[in-house]
Amino acid sequence: MIRKFNKDTYSWDGVETLVYKQDGSPFKDVTRQVLYDGAYDIPCQFRYFECLPGGYSTLEYHEHTHMVMIQRGKGQLLLGDTIYDVEEGDFIEIPGNTIHQFRANKNDYIGFLCLVNKDRDKVKLLTDEEMERFRENPAIKAFLESC
Catalytic sites, residue numbers: 114
Q: CA 86 → CA 56, 67, 68, 82, 97, distances in Å? A: 13, 14, 11, 12, 21
Three-state DSSP class for residue 100: strand
Rounded CA separation 15/19 (Å): 13
Tell which residue, 34, 94, 100, 42, has the closest CA to residue 65. Answer: 94
Strand partners, 92: 68
Rounded CA separation 54/118 (Å): 29
User: What distance lies between CA 13 and its chain's CA centroid?
Assistant: 22
